[in-house]
Amino acid sequence: MFELENRIVNLTPHPVTIIKADGTVVNFPPTGNVARVFVDFVKRGSINGIDVVETVLGGVYDLPPPKRGTTYVVSRMVLNACPRRWDLVTPHNLVRDYKGVVLGAKCFVRELCFSPGYLTMSFSKYMTI
């Protein structure tokens, strides 16, 4: 487990609110800079006459390079497109009011990049492969 004291920069177009376990609310306003992923769609077939397309992710743009002491809040799509960037997080475990409106998130999440062999070894004791 780690604990860092980093500057947190919101690279999404939305305010990000984290509701910590002790009830403390921390807000991260948008900076005006938004990291995005180029996306294209390719038709792969159809089901009952309804097109089925495949998402093709391109490069990420407007994402600054890693900077010591800085963590960037990005969209889930940007996070997934950059599995080796340890400085990227996205809000996780959403908190909603009784009407379903998102109030914030309980924490940040980072993506881990594992090889398929690692996953097979890790889960083989729980699953029949």
Which of these ranges, 9-13, 17-21, 100-104, 120-124, has the smallest mean pLDDT? 120-124
Position 113 scores a pLDDT of: 57
In a domain, 1, yes or no: no
Q: Are 79 and 88 in contact (CB under 8 A)?
A: yes
Total domain count, the chain:
1
Distance CA(6)–CA(20), nearest Å, equals 16
Q: What is the pLDDT of residue 56?
A: 87
Domain range for 20 is: 7-124
Q: Is the pLDDT of residue 16 over 80?
A: yes
Residue 126 has pLDDT above 50, yes or no: no
Given a contact cutoff of 8 angstroms between Cβ atoms, the answer to whether 87 and 77 are in contact is no
Res. 112 pLDDT band, cuts 50 70 90: low
- Residue 20 in any domain: the answer is yes
In 3D space, the residue among 102, 116, 101, 84 whose CA is nearest the CA of residue 16 turns out to be 102
**100-123 mean pLDDT:** 71
Give CA–CA dist 88/8, Å, rounded.
Answer: 10
The answer to the question of residue 45 being in a domain is yes
Quickly count: other Cβ atoms within 10 Å of residue 79's Cβ.
22
